[in-house]
Amino acid sequence: MQASEVSRVVAAAMSTASSLGLTADDAIVLHDSNKLTLRLLSCDVLARVAPVAHQVAWFELELAQRLAESGCPVAALEPRVEPRAYERDGFVVTLWTYYEPVAPGEVSPTDYANALQRLHAGMREVDVPTPHFTNRVEQAQQLVTDRDRTPALAGADRELLGDTLRSLRRVIDERGGAEQLLHGEPHPGNVLTTKNGLLFIDLETCCRGPVEFDLAHAPEEVGEHYPGVDQGLLRECRILVLAMITTWRWDRGDQLPNGRRLGTEWLSQIRAALDCKGLDTHG
């Protein structure tokens, strides 16, 4: 979120909560990216706010409700208000249950894998229209080829990302393995450690594809504890996902702190991974 917009976002979230009878006299920014995540006090509500043009709130709300009803490990909506998306001052505000973090500590790969497996099991029971994972890869490919949106991306790096995205997208898609509804980005930043166990948040990235695509976003050790994983497919998915998130970092509109530094580091990791696996992305 642009720094100039943060105060407007906070005001939109607080006024929305107040209009619904919740006491919101302060706000703490918990996460800042394409949307702002806030803890509203003293009502202790989690507010997620995005520009109207960039949100898919209705989809996320419906899916979160259905998954929660199925017993999936997902964050719940705020029970004191109607579960809907609220528009205010050009932003869309959704309100969620705030979970007090448990004592800090490492999340065990086994617990992570078990929670993700439970999420996937519940997702197999939900029928909702979602894009295929290749649609998201295509978005990254379009960004790589758009020099106006990625002006700082050097020629060799642009070629590397383009070749990697194109080649691995084809290889993974042609495997023809089992596919299902996925979280889309179940990385540690989208996992809450609570007294109720691990809970997944940010369902707006859901897509269809192999479970290995989801596992590619998690720490490497998690894939070792998830049953039935195709380790070769997982390795390919890891490189593909790394190429995707590296591409986002070169978007001139990227707002991730230290994003450009990370993008440079990840380019080196992609080259090392391709060399290690002996993959030819020029085919």
pLDDT above 70: residue 235:
yes
Q: How does residue 212 score in pLDDT terms, banded at 50, 70 and 90?
A: very high
In angstroms, the CA 200 to CA 193 distance is: 9
**Chain mean pLDDT for the chain:** 91
Q: Which residues contact 229 (CB under 8 A, 6 or more apart)?
A: 211, 212, 215, 223
pLDDT above 90: residue 35:
no
Residue pair 122/70 in contact by the 8 Å Cβ criterion = yes
pLDDT tens, position by position, 214-232 = 999 999 999 999 999 999 9
Q: Which of 232, 204, 200, 243 is nearest to 114 (CA)?
A: 200
Peptide bond into 42 cis (omega under 30): yes
pLDDT tens, position by position, 133-148 = 999 999 999 999 999 9
More confident site: 104 or 148: 148
pTM of the model: 0.89
Number of C-beta neighbours around residue 104 at 10 A: 6
In angstroms, the CA 52 to CA 66 distance is: 24
Q: Which residues contact 164 (CB under 8 A, 6 or more apart)?
A: 239, 240, 243, 270, 274, 281
Q: How does residue 280 score in pLDDT terms, banded at 50, 70 and 90?
A: low
pLDDT at site 1: 60
